[in-house]
Every structure is written in structure tokens, then in C-alpha cells.
Chains A and B, each alone.
Chain A
Amino acid sequence: MTRAGGWLLMMAALTLPLWLQSPYHLHVAIMAGIFGVLAMSLNLLLGYTGQLSLGHAAFFGIGAYTSALLTLKLEWSFWPALVAAVALAGAAGFFIGRLALKLRGAYFVLVTISFAGVISLVSINWIELTNGPLGLPGVPAPELGPWSLRSKTAYYYLVLAAVVLSYLVCRRLVRSRFGRALVALRENEPLAESVGVDVTRYLVLAAVVSAAMAGLGGSLYAHYTRFVSPEVFLFTYTVTMVIMVVAGGKGTLAGPLVGAVVFTVLPEALRAAASWQWQMLAYGVLLVLLVFFLPRGIVPRLVAAFSPRP
């Protein structure tokens, strides 16, 4: 993405609430932002290290529950709860990273799925803490000094700030020796080791950052919907993130964001356009077409179209 294009997009994002009068449209924008953070987080693992985490909803859910429980039960305010959510999700990422140290490919996928399964069961069965399947209602809206961020417009800007922060963190990491080490692990692990890249260390670090970022998304989600239940661990959340990353362009910085916007808006648009029987069918057909015609994702295709060939 060129610098001018980036600034233009940023201006558009900053002024979005001025154009979108309907709260419903703003709601879609907020969800796209939250999923943008989640997709960027998954992309660090899937796109750069090449390891697919199919339990990513676990980190999202851990973030959501941590933030909800701390504000509800211990009456923490939003900001420290947010930090705790990020930290605890990151710690879970460390745990998974250490566990999967020597596992790659399908085995890594299995460990992450199992982890999500276990965490989900805990959320359902530890009723004293989590209120079980009934969930935790009444999660408070965040406050910033004297202002409540209860309004959709205010929340939109909070989410936008999180998206920008996540994007900048990803960009800084990816364009450094850290990012090169992750890509080296994806491209050729024995060769990476031979030039001194401590592959397992970088895989663990990537898992921590990725999980922490998913925890950020979880916390934002909890304080937005004001309700957390075991549904946050649903496999569909992970699948949605994977679709966003793959369709947008895995291993690119802008790809997951583009994917998040497209695949948050698309189901909503279909909902407006078709009856529910046709929605999923149309969604599926569009997804197949996208993967068929843009196998590397939307962003790499656009980059190829706009970059002059030497």
C-alpha cells in the first residue's frame, strides 16, 4: 500500500461516523474493527510463521472473560482490565507456544484445537466463576476520564485506535529481524536454524504476541456487546478469522484488515439482500469463487495489479 493510499484510508476511517448515520452501520464498522484486530493476530502465526492456530477463539475468549470478570467481580475499571486481558491471553499463548515447541503443521493445529476445547469446557462448567452457559451479563461500558464510551461513535474510535495500534505493532515487527525470523521458519526451518535463528524461541514469541492481540480483541468485544458467554469460544469465530486472513492475503500487512472488512460486511449485506436460506449458500459460493480466482488473497492480487512490471 502506498503512503498516500494509507493516509487516505486513515482519513476515511476517521470520518466514518460522519457518513454513517445509522447505528446499525456503525455497529458493522465496530465489528469489522474487532475482527480486524483478531485477523491481524492470527496472521502473525498463520501468515508469517506458517503455523495454523485453529484454537484462536480461545485467546479471544480468554481476553473477553478476563476483562468481563475483572470489571464485574472485582470492579476494576476498563483500562486495567484490558491490560490484564491482553496479558493473560499472552500468557496462554506462551503456554501453547511452549507446548507446541516441536510440533508443526497438523500437530500444531491439533494442539491449538484441543486447547480451545478445554478452555471452552472450563467456561461452561466452572459455574461459580463464569456463570456457566448463562454467561455474564452487564459488563460495563468503558470510561475515559469523565466520559463514558457507551455511545457507538465513541466505541468506534476506541476500536479504531486498537486497530491502528495492532497494525503498527505488526508492521514494526514484520519489517525487522523478528519478522524475517518468523518468515524463515515458514520458508525453510532447517536453513533458518543453520544461520542461527532460534526457531522455537521465535515461534513462542509469535504465539505470545498473537494471543495477546487476540485478547485485546476479546476485551473490546466483551465491553462492546456488554455480555460474555461460552459462545465466544465457538469454532465459527476461529473459522471466520481464518477466512479473513486467507481471503485478504496471508503474510501481508493489509490482507487481514481487508479480509475483516469484506467478511464482516458481506454477511450483513447478504442478510439485507436475501432470505436466510440463501444467505449461507451465497456466502459459500462467493468464498469458493474468491479462493478459486484469488488463491493468494485479495491484497497480493491488488499489489500485483498495481505494481509496474520491470
Chain B
Amino acid sequence: MLAVQDLAVRFGGVTALERVSFEVRPGSITSVIGPNGAGKTTAFNAITGYLRPSGGRITYDGLALTGLRPSAIARRGIVRTFQKTSVFPALSVEDNVLTGLHLRGTAGFLGILTGRRRLIAEELALAAEALSIIDFVGLVHRRREIAGALPYGEQRLVELAVAVAARPRLLLLDEPGAGMTGAEKIVVSGLIRRVREQGVTILLVEHDMRMVMGISDTVIVLNGGRVIAEGAPAAIQAHPEVIRAYLGGSAGSA
């Protein structure tokens, strides 16, 4: 279980997050929503080690994550995607996913130079696994194409495939539906559900309310660097603080 306690992030004098606490139940799909600048991506960056928090504790299964490098956090089973499309642009879809399988490989530096047979066997196994992941996101027909040349929606699928390849136990998705067409969002929602069915816990940041309310078990609302509400989608939609945050402070107080 991921537990965030009193997380604070300050950039100079600007407070991005202030005493943010929440938990993510294993096996759930939890969404973090909030207006622009609420601190959603900042929270993601702090959890995954891209940003050192100014205060607070982040633990996963009781072990502290604070201060670890992103790659060390990935090794503990926490993998993220990025808000801006993020693939290995010059590589084929296949090589993108193979790179995502990095932690699945075991060959060390000397093993690579000396153990020809084992290396070949491992490469074959990894290639087979990569293919099954590419099939999962539905890009088999694109597997030899250069990722950077694919249409936007498909690049986001490659991104998801790379993250899934890293075998996360907790997958953090930063706006997986951003910039996608309605049809593509339905595909992505379906994929996210299927990833969860494989036992992966999912934490996501998303702006599309229909998508959030459709797939989340729990919704956490951030505003101005604080958690203002947390609960099931239906309860969140009726929450007065949330309505005020989204419609503007004056509307609520007037």
C-alpha cells in the first residue's frame, strides 16, 4: 500500500503541496483530480523520486521511498508515465517495450560478455514478452515502426506499454487520456481496467471527468496544494467543496 503523510513541496517561496496525506488501497484505481496548478503532477513527481519533498513521508508497504532515485523506486514496483508524451522516439515500438523490460532481464555486464547461450535465451524470452505486451495495447501491426513517427494516440499507447513492461505493482498514470479522442479514451480506460485486473494498483491524474468517474474506485481532490475531498466518485461529484473549487471560490461563497 502507498501511504503519503503530510507531504509538502515548496519551490523557493512558492508552496506547491502543503500537508497532503492520502492512501492508495492495493488493487484499487484511485484518481487525483483538481484544477490546474493544484499540485497533482508535483505529487506524482515526489512519489516517484523525480522531486525531493520539503517535508512529509511517502511509504510503500511500510518502506520509505523518500530520497530514493526514480530507478530504485521502479525496482520496488512503482512505475509512472508522464504528462507530456514520453517514448524513446528514435526506437521502434518493439525496442521501446524491450527497454521497458529492463528490470526483467538478469544478464549482468560480465554475463553479457561471457554467457552467449544464456544471453540468447534471455533475449528470446524478452522478445516474446515484449510482443505479448505490444499485443495487449493493440499495436502489433506497428511493432517495427519508429515510435516517434506514430500518431499521438498510438504514442500514448506505446508509453503505456513501456510502463506495463516494467512490471509495476503500482502504476501512476499522469493524464493518460490527455489529447485523445473520445474513442481512444474508451480504449485507454479499458486497458487501465485490464491492467488492474492483473493485480496492479493504479493511481492516476486526469482532467476528463467522465473517464475519472467511470473507472475510479476512489477520487482524491487537490486544490491549492491541499486535499479538499476524498471518496467514491458519486460522493465527490456532490461534494460542496469540490463544486466550489471547480466553479470558483466566489460562486460557493456568494
Q: Does B69 contact A (CB under 8 A)?
A: yes
B99 touches A192 (CB 8 A): yes
A199, B88: Cβ atoms closer than 8 Å: no
- A180 CA to B88 CA, complexed, in Å: 11
Q: Which residues of B contact A184 (CB under 8 A)?
A: 88, 99, 102
Closest to A199 in B: B71
Mark the stretch among B9-17, B159-167, B227-235, B237-245 that contacts chain A: B159-167
Give Cα A165 to B119, complex, Å.
Answer: 18
Question: Given A180-B102, A188-B89, is A196 in contact with B69 using a C-beta cutoff of 8 Å?
Answer: no
A183 to chain B, nearest CB (A): 7
Which residue of B has the minimal Cβ distance to A251?
B90
Q: A181-B102, A190-B82, A194-B163 are in contact. Are A173 and B113 (CB under 8 A)?
A: yes
Return the contact of A193 from the options B69, B81, B107, B165 (Cβ within 8 A).
B69
Say which one of B19-27, B28-36, B72-80, B246-254 lies at the interface with A.
B72-80
Shortest CB distance B43–A (Å):
16
19 contacting pairs across A/B (C-beta < 8 A): A173-B113, A176-B107, A177-B107, A181-B102, A184-B99, A187-B90, A190-B86, A191-B87, A191-B162, A192-B99, A193-B49, A194-B70, A194-B163, A195-B99, A195-B166, A196-B166, A198-B69, A198-B72, A310-B144
Neighbouring A residues of B48 by C-beta, 8 Å: 194
Identify the closest chain B residue to A187 (Cβ). B88
CB pair A205 B109 closer than 8 Å: yes
Question: A196 and B123: CB pair below 8 A?
Answer: no
Question: B50 touching A196 by the CB < 8 A rule?
Answer: no
B91 interface residue (CB < 8 Å to A) = yes
CA of A162 to CA of B76, assembled, Å: 41
Partner of B165, one of A195, A198, A310: A195
Q: Let me know if A188 and B86 touch, CB within 8 A.
A: yes
* Closest-CB distance, A213 to chain B (whole angstroms): 13
Identify which of A173, A176, A195, A310 contacts B100 (C-beta below 8 A).
A195
Q: Which of A172, A178, A191, A193 has the most CB of B within 10 A?
A: A191
Check A190/B74 contact, CB under 8 A, given A180-B99, A180-B102, A183-B88.
no
Q: B residues touching A (Cβ–Cβ < 8 Å)?
A: 48-50, 69-72, 74-75, 79-82, 86-91, 95, 98-103, 105, 107, 109, 112-113, 116, 119, 123, 126, 144, 162-163, 165-166
Contact residues of A between 161 and 182, Cβ < 8 Å to B? 169, 172-173, 175-178, 180-181
A177 to B71: give the CA distance in the assembly, Å: 15
In angstroms, Cα B86 to Cα A184, docked, is 12
Cβ contact within 8 Å between B91 and A183? yes
Which of A173, A192, A196, A198 is the most central at the interface, judged by chain B CB atoms within 10 Å of its CB? A196
Q: A191-B87, A196-B75 are in contact. Are A180 and B95 (CB under 8 A)?
A: yes
Contact A183 B69 (CB under 8 A): no
Whole-angstrom CA separation of A196 from B123 in the bound complex? 18
* Residues of chain A with a CB closer than 8 A to B107's CB: 176-178
Cβ of B113 and Cβ of A183 under 8 Å apart? no
Q: Does A253 interact with chain B (Cβ within 8 Å)?
A: no
A192 contacts which chain B residues (CB < 8 A)?
71, 88, 99
Do residues B119 and A194 form an inter-chain contact, with CB atoms below 8 A? no
Q: List, in ascending order, chain B residues with CB within 8 A of A173's CB.
A: 112-113
Instruction: Given the known inter-chain contacts A194-B48, A195-B166, please indicate yes or no for A188 contacting B103, CB distance below 8 A.
Output: no
Judge whether A172 and B112 touch: CB under 8 Å: yes
Q: From A180, which residue of chain B is reached at the shortest CB distance?
A: B99
Residues of A within 8 A of B116 (CB): 172
Q: Distance in Å from the Cβ of B104 to the closest Cβ of chain A? A: 9
Chain A hits for B99, CB < 8 A: 180-181, 183-184, 192, 195, 197
A176/B71 in contact, CB under 8 A: no
Distance between Cα atoms of A183 and B87 in the complex (Å) = 12
- For B145, give the chain A residue with the smallest CB separation: A310
Top 5 A-B residue pairs of the complex, sorted by shortest distance between their CB atoms: A196-B74, A193-B70, A187-B88, A177-B105, A195-B166
- With a cutoff of 8 Å between Cβ atoms, the chain B residues found around residue A176 in the complex are 105, 107, 112, 119, 123
Contact (Cβ within 8 A) B98 A195:
no
Residues of A within 8 A of B49 (CB): 193
Q: Which residue of B lies closest to A310 (CB)?
A: B144
**B119 contacts A196, CB within 8 Å?**
no
Tell me which residues across on chain A come within 8 A of B79, comparing CB atoms.
Answer: 194-196
Tell me the minimal C-beta distance from A116 to chain B in angstroms. Answer: 26
Q: Do the beta carbons of B113 and A196 come within 8 Å of each other? A: no
Tell me the minimal C-beta distance from A237 to chain B in angstroms: 27
Smallest CB gap from A193: residue in B: B70
B89's nearest neighbour on chain A, judged by CB, is A187
Most A CB within 10 A of own CB, among B69, B112, B123: B112
Partner pick for B71 among A172, A183, A188, A198, CB 8 A cutoff: A198
Q: Which A residues lie within 8 Å of B165 (CB)?
A: 195
Q: Are the C-beta atoms of B74 and A195 separated by less than 8 Å?
A: yes
CB distance from A245 to the nearest CB of B (A): 17
Contacting residues, chain B, for A194 (C-beta < 8 A): 48, 70, 74, 79-82, 163, 166
